[in-house]
Structure 1
Amino acid sequence: MKYDYINEVNIHMPVAENYKDIWTFIQSDYYRMKGSFATIIGVLTLIFVEPSFWFLFWLRIASYKKKNILWLIAKLIHRRNMFKYGLLIPSTTRIGFGLYIGHPLSIVVNHSAIIGNNVTISHFTTIGANHIHAAYIGDNVYMAPNVSLIEDITIGSNCTIGNGSVVTKSVPANSTVVGNPARVIKENCSARYTGTPWLFSVL
């Protein structure tokens, strides 16, 4: 696994170099959802009982750009899942470890968005852009339902975005924001509802 440093939000973004790294991504998503380390049986079981994990499983494989039959199958299943569940998250979107989707329903993410590690996205969320670049999102960020992140803003690490917030300006790390337009109501605080974060080292 290699890591790119994302200056806008001061995080290390993992980049898969092989299928072993893809398995690490899948394990991290499992860990966020179940709070325990993944086994092959556990992953296979969760695939068939949890739609959001089924979606993430094929998203992770489709995101690895090695052109082979597995990649093609993953791309086809991922595309079908996007329209089946209304989870329009392209496989080209850069996403860190441990993405958690609480309810697989009506989520739209622009392909240019960067989503950090241990991020939670709730239903009816939009991360969009009509111009340059979609949002940069740091680590350990919780987004409640009905959140909209507009254009190339930055959401610092350890932030909580409240229900129904329309975020049009950058949010500093360790903040809680709510409202339309969103405003900071609390500073120097940890993100809420992050569950069990996936821990990793870049060394």
Structure 2
Amino acid sequence: MSCWPYIQSDLYRYTGKVSLYLFLKHLARNKSFKYSFWLRLARHQNWLVRTIAKCFHRHLSGKYLLEIPVSTDIGYGLYIGHHMCVVINETAKIGNNVNLSQFTTIGSNEGNAAVIGDNVYIGPSVCLVENVQIGNDVTIGAGSVVTRDIPPQATVAGVPAKVLNFNNAGRYVQNRWPLKSA
């Protein structure tokens, strides 16, 4: 599978459009997009491109304190809100059009990490602990610790995270990459 549609979808999440000009501009100036570009390219089929991309990915991981393994299953339209301090376990599964904020941790000490649905906003300083299931169109408030599954279209917050309501969840996910129906 080609990595270019993923790169285009990530660019679309930042800009709402896809063009060569915007691609070059964001690759040069937007640290979050630059990181996701090299992350996506590190899965390229060509071994030389993949090897070079892994080197850039490793360099930027240390520079920006972002630890997202290349092997992590990530859908279309990844948006990293700030280019600092995100740690994701390689067994996590991240859906389409997901926003990751600064100081997000998706981890697991045993077994698999979280499975995150589509159109999910994860606020700053959120921890998703172990194998929790996050539904589609969910908003997770800042500083939350998620230890249980979250149903679709919920807004949650707190330690441990509790459902606050089902009103307008996922509203912070802007410029959603259009997904084709299966």
Category of TM-score, reference length = shorter chain: over 0.9
Matched, 1:61 2:41: yes
Letter in 1 for 2:9: S
Q: Distance in 2 between matches of 1:177 and 1:190?
A: 9
Letter in 1 for 2:165: K
Letter in 1 for 2:129: I
Q: Distance in 2 between matches of 1:101 and 1:165?
A: 18
Q: Distance in 1 between matches of 2:56 and 2:72?
A: 17
Q: Distance in 1 between matches of 2:166 and 2:21?
A: 42
> Residues 94-117 of structure 1, C-alpha deviation per residue, up to 9 Å, x if partnerless?
000101011011100000000000
Matched, 1:79 2:75: no
Query: Which SS does the other structure have where 2:42 is aligned?
Result: helix
> Residues 158-185 of structure 1, C-alpha deviation per residue, up to 9 Å, x if partnerless?
0000010000000001101000011001
The one of 87, 95, 106 aligned to 1:127: 106
Gaps of 5+ in 2: none
Query: Which SS does the other structure have where 1:192 is aligned?
Result: coil
Task: Specify the alignment match of 1:51 in structure 2.
Answer: 31
Task: Specify the alignment match of 1:88 in structure 2.
Answer: 67
Letter in 2 for 1:56: S
The one of 4, 12, 25 aligned to 2:6: 25
Q: Distance in 2 between matches of 1:111 and 1:40?
A: 31
Query: Which SS does the other structure have where 1:81 is aligned?
Result: helix
Task: Specify the alignment match of 1:98 in structure 2.
Answer: 77
Structure 1-normalised TM-score? 0.87
Letter in 2 for 1:196: N
Query: Which SS does the other structure have where 1:127 is aligned?
Result: strand
Letter in 2 for 1:32: R
Q: Distance in 2 between matches of 1:67 and 1:40?
A: 22
Cα offset, 1:42, TM superposition: 1.9
Cα offset, 1:23, TM superposition: 1.3
Cα offset, 1:67, TM superposition: 4.9
Gaps of 5+ in 1: 1-16
Query: Which SS does the other structure have where 1:41 is aligned?
Result: helix
Query: Which SS does the other structure have where 1:177 is aligned?
Result: strand
Q: Distance in 1 between matches of 2:80 and 2:22?
A: 18
Cα offset, 1:156, TM superposition: 0.3
Cα offset, 1:189, TM superposition: 3.9
State which drifts further: 68-77 or 40-49.
40-49
Cα offset, 1:118, TM superposition: 0.3
Letter in 2 for 1:41: Y
Instruction: Summarize the alignment of residues 1-203 of structure 1 with structure 2, pairs less than 5 Å apart.
Output: 17-18=1-2, 22-36=3-17, 38-64=18-44, 66-187=45-166, 189-203=168-182
Q: Distance in 2 between matches of 1:70 and 1:40?
A: 20
Q: Distance in 2 between matches of 1:148 and 1:114?
A: 15
- Equivalent residues, number: 182
Cα offset, 1:41, TM superposition: 2.6
